[in-house]
Amino acid sequence: MKKVILTLIISLGVTGVAFAKGDAAAGKSKATTCAACHGATGVSPAPNWPNLAGQGERYLIKQITEIKDGDRSVPEMMPFVSALTKQDIEDLAAFYASQPAPQGATDAKYVSVGEALYRGGDAKKGIPACSSCHSPTGKGNFLAGFPSLAGQKSDYTAKQLRDLREGDRTNDGDTKIMRTIAEKMSNKEIEAVSHYISGLR
């Protein structure tokens, strides 16, 4: 547990470096091709596609770039990102980051387990509190590049945790922060914390 927390602290320190700023107005125009899946303002109409509104620029730039470069496998995204330039990616990230974050809701049956994991983790299993990186309100840490989770689609979050656990998603860095955590989570815990996160504001 101490090793995981130390890794989180070290990662927070080394990732807090300057990054390029995009043009939100230009990004709005470029985002028209993204709207079918992610919504006109970055709030997805589908449960399995992520909300992008209110997400940190640093995180969005990283994810779009890594999907384009093949470091994160999302085949359905390739036709849309393959031709994007560095400036395009920065502009898109600036646009989505400027949009109001979505407001979600949590099913009461998931609150007990989900809240306990999110706020306190599970010391016996070596799972740190999600809030230690993603903040008590789920807004993330944009300077460090840790994503906002508040209001995110529960189906999407659960899939990402399962993919990290099974090794199908590996772009959490050399420290394997999220893979290390997800490997210790049961399906019930993943479902509960994903639903709890969707209701954070």
Q: Per-residue pLDDT tens for 9-18? A: 444 444 444 5
How far is the C-alpha of 4 from the C-alpha of 131, rounded, in Å? 14
Give the pLDDT of residue 19. 54
Q: Give the contacts of 96 (CB within 8 A, at least 6 positions apart).
A: 27, 31, 38, 42, 52, 53, 54, 55, 60
Q: pLDDT (tens digit, 9 = 90+) per residue, 29-84?
A: 999 999 999 999 999 999 999 999 999 999 999 999 999 999 999 999 999 999 99
**3 has pLDDT over 80:** no
**Predicted local confidence at residue 104, as pLDDT:** 85
Task: Say if residue 37 carries a ligand binding annotation.
Answer: yes
- pLDDT level of residue 1 (50, 70, 90 thresholds): low
Consult the annotation and say whether 134 binds a ligand.
Answer: yes
- What kind of architecture, by CATH, is found in domain 24-98? Orthogonal Bundle (1.10)
Q: Whole-angstrom Cα distance, residue 67 to residue 50? A: 14
Tell me what pLDDT residue 17 has.
Answer: 41
Statement: residue 175 has pLDDT above 60:
yes
pLDDT at site 8: 46
Q: Phi first, then psi: what are they for 68, rounded to 5°?
A: -60, -40
130 labelled ligand-binding: yes
The rounded distance, in Å, linking the Cα atoms of 133 and 6 is: 12
Domain 108-199 grouped into CATH 3.60.15.10: no
Mean pLDDT within 94-121: 96
Q: Which residue shows structure tokens 């993603």?
A: 134
The per-residue pLDDT for 12 is: 44
Q: What is the mean pLDDT of residues 98-112?
A: 93
Q: Using CB atoms within 10 A of its CB, is residue 200 exposed (0-12), middle (13-18) or buried (19+)?
A: buried
pLDDT tens digit string along 131-162? 999 999 999 999 999 999 999 999 999 999 99
pLDDT in tens, 180-196: 999 999 999 999 999 99
Helix (H, G, I), strand (E, B) or coil at 167: coil
**Per-residue confidence (pLDDT) for residue 7, from 0 to 100:** 46
Does pLDDT of 109 surpass 80?
yes
78 assigned binding-site residue: no
User: Given this model, what pLDDT does residue 16 score?
Assistant: 40
The pLDDT of residue 15: 41
Query: Counting every residue, how long is the chain?
Result: 201
pLDDT given for residue 148 in this prediction: 98
195 marked as binding residue: no
C-alpha distances (whole Å) from 48 to each of 4, 27, 53, 160 are 29, 23, 15, 10
- The answer to whether 77 is a known ligand-binding residue is yes
Full-model pTM: 0.89
Q: Where does the chain hold its CATH 1.10.760.10 domain(s)?
A: 24-98, 108-199
Residue type, 141: N
